Amino acid sequence: MALRPDLAAIAAMIPEGTSVLDVGCGDGALLEHLVRTKHVDGRGLELSQQNVNACVTRGLSVIQGDADTDLGEYPSQVFDVVILSQTIQATWDPKSVLDHLLRIGRHVVISFPNFGHWRVRLSLLARGRMPQTKTLSNEWYDTPNIHLCTIADFVGLANVCGANIEQALALTPEGTTRAMRADAWIPNLMAEGAIFLLTSDTAGSVI
Amino acid sequence: MSDPVFLRPLAAPDADKGQAVVFGPDQALLLDSGRSLTPFTIAYKTYGTLNANRSNAILICHALTGDQFAASPNPITGKPGWWQTMIGPGKPIDTDRFFVISTNVIGGCMGSSGPAEVNPETGEPYGLSFPLITIRDMVRAQAMLIDHLGIERLFSVIGGSMGGMQALQWAASFPDRVISAMPIACAARHSAQNIAFHEVGRQAVMADPDWHGGAYYGRGTQPSKGLAVARMAAHITYLSEPALQRKFGRNLQNKESVSFLFTPDFQVESYLHHQGMTFVDRFDANSYLYITRAVDYFDLAADHGGVLAEAFRGTKTRFCIISFSSDWLYPTAENKRIAHALNAAAANVSFVDIRTDRGHDSFLLDEPEMFATVRGFLNSVATREGVK
């Protein structure tokens, strides 16, 4: 099965043979791809027990756990890359989560839906109701996404956490990716989502 | 080293007795208590074939009252092996691929040195002269057996309940000899509640007038009533309230109304009586005392300055922890605690909690998710290690 375009873009950022922790790894599709094709030493953390069991049955090393509470269990700087794919907006404390990711991994790859996308902006402006789009399809009262942000907001958080932005990609509605300037206003308007490669201030090395 | 012997007199003469190895005075077993055991015997049973480079050996560790007959009929009861669903050709622990070694722990009563066995030095059963043992002592003895079989590294150490504790102890004591470990439905320490239940069992045995201070061998009697009560109390902890409700509820046994007597009225009473009675036919009361004590003493963190992660510092072993959601003897939280400690040691660990209402004993039952997990984990390790 082909990898979802945003996951394929993340996979392209991961070098061969590195150690990878995928936080919120879901059914393990990305992790399995990385283990098979990039021979990474891969681990996963996933909230849904059903997903965890499926991952382990596929031969992946995954444990049941919650990004909001369990990242503190991991020692510092043990993974080359920590991935947080389409999950940060569903965490209770995104800053604490990002702090932990930058502590645990030498590099952090993070993707999220862009709440600054023009459709989102227009929807609120025109309808006066909480926006629903293809990627943000829940009603406001039953959404898991409790901390939505725009690309500009995320850049602000990355700065607060002392992260260096090594690479930034815009996700288009067609599922393609292109490099973007993270601090420019056009990607914040046009990108449906974003993928960032971060390093912590102290990490230094480049993968 | 002498030829394999089998000391247990209970088995039928032509039954499959498994194998055993005797370690002589030059290979004494040094115990945590400070005493040593020599000579001593460890009984085991193997399934499958050891491959040419000796890389496919899996050690199976049994639970409290289990034995080495994991995948073949028990010579005393004639019943199928306790993990016959798990181990065999094409099964999750596939004997077409792996060489399975199932041992009887020291302190046990199926051929390994234990209180019921004859002390070769005196010609009499040990009784209470047998030294107190620990889980680590059991594992030390197993390691000597594995040495004896010429196996350097175990592809996996797998066990449920007390067997899971042994798997953890193996990974902590011999990290370079354990490629992977699967502790199932266990804990890194025996909780106060668990110790309390064990003490009830031991007191029941010791209160039986036929116990005779442990020296009942040769008197033509044994503390069956006490041991049966111990088993009945323990058996309750292996199940769960939903499972007991589903199986028995408050249904009466072969009667329309309660009897106003103390004979069994409820089906659940008859069930426990049956469990107690069948247990005494295959287990030695003193062994029960020794093995429950060994489990009570188990506290892996305490052996490492109170920090469980320290037990696994720098480990290369790949772990898969399995728990069952309705297990109240070794609850999911206790198993998860192990997974967290392994994380803190940056170990490679999977953790699966299987939703079931069948309680602690689920690891012995037909649980498709457990089978799928065991199969998936072993396959992934085999691929990584190049074991065909």
CA distance to partner chain A, nearest, from residue B67 (Å): 28
Q: What is the pLDDT of residues B112-137, one digit of tens each?
A: 999 999 998 899 999 999 999 999 99
Residues of A in contact with B352 (CB under 8 A): 49, 52-53, 56, 64
Tell which of B348, B349, B351 to mutate to test the A interface (max A CBs under 10 Å). Answer: B351
Task: Report if residue A36 sits inside a domain.
Answer: yes
* Amino acid at the residue B120: P
Of A56, A75, A78, the CB nearest to B376: A56
Tell which of B336, B350, B355, B375 to mutate to test the A interface (max A CBs under 10 Å). Answer: B350
Average of per-residue pLDDT across B299-327: 96
Q: How much of chain A, in percent, has pLDDT values that exceed 70? A: 96
* CB contact (8 A) between residue B339 and residue A63: yes
pLDDT of B102 strictly over 50: yes
Average of per-residue pLDDT across B68-95: 96
pLDDT (0 to 100) of residue B8: 39
In which band, very low, low, confident or very high, does the pLDDT at A1 lie, cut at 50, 70 and 90? low
pLDDT of B2 strictly over 70: no
Task: Report if residue A135 sits inside a domain.
Answer: yes
Q: State the Cα–Cα distance between residues A2 and B106, nearest whole angstrom.
A: 53
Q: What is the pLDDT of residues B220-244, one digit of tens each?
A: 899 999 999 999 999 999 999 999 9
Task: Report if residue A166 sits inside a domain.
Answer: yes
In which band, very low, low, confident or very high, does the pLDDT at B9 lie, cut at 50, 70 and 90? very low
Tell me the CA distances in angstroms from B70 to A158, B45, B139, B150, B376, one per residue in order: 55, 8, 18, 22, 21
Q: What is the pLDDT of residues B254-290, one digit of tens each?
A: 999 999 999 999 999 999 999 999 999 999 999 999 9
Give chain B's mean pLDDT: 94
Contact B26, B1 (CB under 8 A): no
Is B14 an annotated catalytic residue?
no
pLDDT of B110 strictly over 70: yes
Task: Report if residue A207 sits inside a domain.
Answer: no
Task: Report if residue A126 sits inside a domain.
Answer: yes
Residue A42 φ/ψ region, left for φ over 0, alpha for ψ in the -120 to 50 degree band, beta for the rest: beta
Three-class secondary structure assignment of B222-244: CCHHHHHHHHHHHHHHHCCHHHH
* CB contact (8 A) between residue B375 and residue A57: yes
- Return the CA Rg of chain A: 16
CA distance to partner chain A, nearest, from residue B116 (Å): 42
Average of per-residue pLDDT across B303-329: 96
Task: Report how far apart the first and last C-alpha atoms of chain A are (Å, whole number).
Answer: 28
The domain tally of chain A equals 1
H-helix or E-strand spanning residue B193: helix B192-207
Average of per-residue pLDDT across B328-346: 94
Residues of B in contact with A62 (CB under 8 A): 350-351
Tell which of B156, B310, B335, B352 to mutate to test the A interface (max A CBs under 10 Å). Answer: B352
Distance of CA B340 to the CA centre of its chain: 24
* Amino acid at the residue A110: I
**Least confident interval from A1-5, A51-55, A167-171, B366-370:** A1-5
* CB contact (8 A) between residue B346 and residue A74: yes
Q: State the Cα–Cα distance between residues A187 and B139, nearest whole angstrom.
A: 61
* CB contact (8 A) between residue B352 and residue A52: yes
Domain locations in chain B? 19-190+299-385, 194-292
* CB contact (8 A) between residue A57 and residue B344: no
- Residue B210 labeled ligand binder: no
B112, B113, B156, B161: the catalytic one is: B161
H-helix or E-strand spanning residue A190: helix A185-190
Q: What is the pLDDT of residues A13-71, one digit of tens each?
A: 999 999 999 999 999 999 999 999 999 999 999 999 889 988 998 889 999 989 999 99
Residues of B in contact with A49 (CB under 8 A): 352-353, 355
B198, B327, B353, B362: the catalytic one is: B327
- Residue B231 labeled ligand binder: yes
pLDDT of A206 strictly over 60: no
Q: Is B20 helix (H, G, I), strand (E, B) or coil?
A: strand
* CB contact (8 A) between residue B343 and residue A56: no
* A109: nearest Cα among A190, A180, A207, A4: A207
Task: Report if residue A41 sits inside a domain.
Answer: yes
Contact A112, A45 (CB under 8 A): no
Is B327 an annotated catalytic residue?
yes
pLDDT of A131 strictly over 50: yes
C-beta contacts of A177-182 below 8 A and 24+ residues apart: A177/A5, A177/A6, A177/A9, A182/A151, A182/A155
pLDDT of A89 strictly over 60: yes
* CB contact (8 A) between residue A56 and residue B346: no
Residues 6+ apart with CB under 8 A from B46: B19, B99, B100, B101, B102
Distance of CA A28 to the CA centre of its chain: 14
CATH number at residue A124: 3.40.50.150
Q: What is the DSSP letter of B361?
A: G
Question: Helices B192-207 and B285-297 sit at what angle, rounded to 10 degrees?
Answer: 160
* CB contact (8 A) between residue A61 and residue B348: yes
Q: State the Cα–Cα distance between residues B283 and B62, nearest whole angstrom.
A: 14
Q: State the Cα–Cα distance between residues B261 and B249, nearest whole angstrom.
A: 20
Would you state the structure tokens that stand for residue A9, as one six-digit string?
């873009």
What CATH number was assigned to the domain covering residues B194-292? 1.10.1740.110
CB contacts < 8 A, A to B, total: 64
Count of residues making up chain A: 207
Is B304 an annotated catalytic residue?
no
H-helix or E-strand spanning residue B195: helix B192-207
* B228: nearest Cα among B286, B273, B284: B273
B67, B303, B360, B362: the catalytic one is: B360
Q: What is the DSSP letter of B90?
A: T
Q: State the Cα–Cα distance between residues B265 and B259, nearest whole angstrom.
A: 7
Residues of B in contact with A63 (CB under 8 A): 321, 339, 343, 349-351
Q: State the Cα–Cα distance between residues B351 and A49, nearest whole angstrom.
A: 9
Q: State the Cα–Cα distance between residues A129 and B62, nearest whole angstrom.
A: 61
Domain that holds residue A128: 5-201
Diameter of chain B measured on Cα atoms: 67
pLDDT (0 to 100) of residue B73: 95
Domain B19-190+299-385 has CATH 3.40.50.1820: yes
Contact B349, B320 (CB under 8 A): yes
In which band, very low, low, confident or very high, does the pLDDT at B16 lie, cut at 50, 70 and 90? low
Average of per-residue pLDDT across B166-180: 98
